[in-house]
Structure 1
C-alpha cells in the first residue's frame, strides 16, 4: 500500500527573533495560550492549588484548635515535681542593673540616683496596685493560705531603707529579697522547737530575732538570712520584716499578685572592694543547692565612694 503524501510539503518553522519569541510566549494568537497555557489549563491548575492550600489551612487550624484545647489560661499544665522548675523555689533580689550582663551592684554614694530609680521601679507596683483594696484581701496569721482568686495585700513598711535614697546615698544600701514564684507551692515552716535546736544551724542573730516573736508567727513564716562570704566585717541588718508570712502562699496566678519581700540594709561597706553576699531561705520544704541556685541567691556589691 502506497504511503499517503500530504498536499503541502514540509515547512521549516519560522525563525523568530528573541523579542518575537518572548511575545509569542506571553500570548500565542494561534492557540490563544498565555504563558504557554490555555485559559482552561490555567483554570484547572488554579483550582487545584486553591483546593490544596484551603485543605492545608483547614488542617493547620484544626491542629491548633485541638492544641489550644489542652492549654489552661490560668495555670500551667505541668507544675511542681512534673515541671522543669520543680518544687523548691529559688530566690531573687532587687535592685539589679538594667543590663542583665552586669551582675555587680556598683554605686557611688555621691550620685545614687541610678540605683534609687531602680528601686523605685521595683516598688512602683506595690504603691500603685496595692491600694486597690477591692482587689486584695487583708490577711493575717489567722489566715490559713492565700485565696486562689484574691491575693493578700502586701503593704510596704520601710524604716531606715526609706531614707537617703534607700541607703545608697550614705553608703548603706538596702537590698530587697524575695522568693521566686512557683505555682501551687505551699511552704512548710520550721516549728519553734526546730528553730531552737542546734541541728538546724541557723545563724544566731536570725534565731534570736525569731524567738522573740509569738509562736503562731514563728511557725507561719519563711525566714531569710544573709552572710558576708569573704568576712569583710560587713553588717547586715533587717529593716522591718525578717520573713515571708505563709498566708501569701500558694501562688495561683491571682490577678495583681505581689510577691512579699524582705529589706536588708548593708552597713560598713569598704570602699573600692567588691563584697560578696549570700542569702538563703529557711523552710522545711526548701532545698538549698548552691549549684542550681535553689533556695538561695548570691550577689556582689561595690561601693565606689
Structure 2
C-alpha cells in the first residue's frame, strides 16, 4: 500500500506547474537572472555581434557587386549602342506643346479670345524652350553647311531663327496662328542618311522644295506635315517652317556632348479651321528613318490635333 502511495506522489510531482506571471517591471529587468527584455547581457552581446558581422559581410558583397557594375559602365557613352541597344536606330518624332493633363491626350485646344487658355499653351512652350534660351557658360558654336566641325562640337539652336514662333509673339496663339515644335529623340551615335534625290513617296510640295534647294543645303532631315485623314487634308493649307523645313545634319551625331540640345523645327499653322478639329501628321524624312503610320506601331512620325474656337 505504501508502494502505491509512492507512485502517486511521483505523478503529482511530475505534473507541469503554471508559469509564474511577470510584472511589467520584471519584463524590462528580471533581477533573478539579470535579464533585460528577456535576454541576459551575454545573450544580447552575442546577438549584437552576429548582426554586426552579418551586415559587414552584406556591405562587402554589395560593394563588390557595385564595383563590378560600375567598372562595366562608361560615364559618357552607353555600352550597347544603335543596333545592339534596346532603343535601336530609328529615332521617334515628338512635338510640343504637350499638355501635362493626360485626359487632353495629344489635343491642342484653345479659344484665342480667352487669354487664360492661350497662356496655358504658351507657358508650356516657355518651359520647353527654357534651356534653349539659357546658353551662357555653354561651349557652343554657330554651325553652317559649308563649315567643317569636330564631332564633339555643340551647334547652337538659335531661337531667333524661329521667326513669328517666338515667345514675344506668343508663339502665334494670340493671333490664331499657332506654332508647334518638332524634334527627334536622341540616339547616341546615330547619323542620318540623307536623300540625294527626292523619295518617290514624298509629298509633291516637298519634292518641289527639294529640287529647288542647293545640293549643299540638302544635307538635312526633311520634315513634312499634312492632314492625317482625307477630311483633314482638305482643310490643311498655308503652313510655314522655321528656320527651314528640315533639321541640318551638322547637329549629328549626338555623343553626349556637354550642353547639347536637340535641334528643333517650328511649324506655324497660319489658317487652321475654326471650330472643327484638325488631325495633323508630321513626318521625318531620311533613308535610315523607318516610317510606319500604324496606330499601334507608329514610327518616324507623330500625330496631334488642333481645335481652335
TM-score range, shorter chain: 0.7 to 0.9
Question: C-alpha separation between the residues in 1 aligned to 2:265 and 2:100?
Answer: 21
Q: Which runs of no fewer than 5 residues in structure 2 stay unpaired?
A: 1-12
The verdict on how the C-alpha distance between 1:159 and 1:31 changes in structure 2, with shifts beyond 3 A counting, is closer
* 1:116 maps to 2:122: yes
The verdict on how the C-alpha distance between 1:94 and 1:15 changes in structure 2, with shifts beyond 3 A counting, is closer
Given candidates 192, 195, 204, the residue that maps to 1:190 is 195
CA RMSD across the alignment: 2.6
Given candidates 269, 277, 285, the residue that maps to 2:280 is 277
Counterpart of 1:78 in structure 2 is 80
Higher mean C-alpha deviation, range 111-120 or range 175-184: 111-120
Higher mean C-alpha deviation, range 226-235 or range 251-260: 226-235
**Contact 2:283/2:301 (<8 A) preserved:** yes
**Contact 2:282/2:301 (<8 A) preserved:** yes
Q: Spell out, residue by residue over 1:216-267, the C-alpha distance to the aligned partner (whole angstroms, 9 max, x if none).
A: 111x111000101222422222243111110100111111111111111113
C-alpha deviation, 1:164, in angstroms: 4.1
Counterpart of 1:173 in structure 2 is 178
**Contact 1:146/1:251 (<8 A) preserved:** no
**Contact 2:157/2:261 (<8 A) preserved:** yes
Counterpart of 1:60 in structure 2 is 62
Counterpart of 1:209 in structure 2 is 209
Q: Spell out, residue by residue over 1:89-121, the C-alpha distance to the aligned partner (whole angstroms, 9 max, x if none).
A: 110111111324422000111222222222222
Given candidates 248, 253, 267, the residue that maps to 2:251 is 248
Question: C-alpha separation between the residues in 2 aligned to 1:116 and 1:146?
Answer: 36
Counterpart of 2:144 in structure 1 is 140
**Contact 1:190/1:283 (<8 A) preserved:** yes
Question: C-alpha separation between the residues in 2 aligned to 1:200 and 1:287?
Answer: 15
Q: Spell out, residue by residue over 1:148-170, the C-alpha distance to the aligned partner (whole angstroms, 9 max, x if none).
A: 3x311121202233474211112
Counterpart of 1:126 in structure 2 is 132
Secondary structure of the corresponding residue to residue 125 of structure 2: helix
Q: Which runs of no fewer than 5 residues in structure 1 stay unpaired?
A: 1-9
- TM-score of the pair, normalised by structure 2: 0.83
C-alpha deviation, 1:39, in angstroms: 2.4
- TM-score of the pair, normalised by structure 1: 0.84
Higher mean C-alpha deviation, range 42-51 or range 22-31: 22-31
Counterpart of 2:307 in structure 1 is 302
**Contact 1:179/1:259 (<8 A) preserved:** yes
Counterpart of 2:6 in structure 1 is none
**Contact 1:146/1:248 (<8 A) preserved:** no
After the TM superposition, list the runs of 4 or more consecutive aligned residues in structure 1 that deviate by more than 6 angstroms.
12-17
**Contact 2:157/2:264 (<8 A) preserved:** no
C-alpha deviation, 1:25, in angstroms: 4.8
How many residue pairs get matched?
Answer: 285
Secondary structure of the corresponding residue to residue 302 of structure 1: strand
